[in-house]
Amino acid sequence: MKAFVEFVVRSVATRPEAVEVEESEQAGLRVFRIRVAPEDVGRVIGRQGQVIQAMRTILRAVAARRGERVQVELAQEQAS
């Protein structure tokens, strides 16, 4: 699932080298934290949240088939 998240986010980002995806597990919940460059936050969210919502929907469907729960969080890197 992490590879899927990285692929989608890098595909829409203007700075794919700045994309970082961190995966962690918290009380039976798999959490994906996505960090992107400040100028890519809007692109990852998409118009009216469509891109990130579609990604969340797909991940939840895959996780449900595996009997897992998943959450996707988006953060921006600090501007340097």
pTM of the predicted model as reported, rounded to 2 decimal places: 0.86
What are the structural domains of the chain?
A: 2-76 (3.30.300.20)
Report residue 80's pLDDT band, with 50, 70 and 90 as the boundaries: low
**pLDDT tens string 38-56:** 999 999 999 999 999 999 9
Task: Record the tokens describing residue 72, joined without a space.
Answer: 């996707």
d(CA 41, CA 13): 8
Longest dimension (CA), the chain: 41
Category of 27 on φ-ψ map: left (φ > 0), alpha (ψ -120 to 50) or beta: left
**Residue 49 host element (H or E):** none
3-state percent breakdown (helix, strand, coil) of the chain, nearest 5: 50, 30, 20
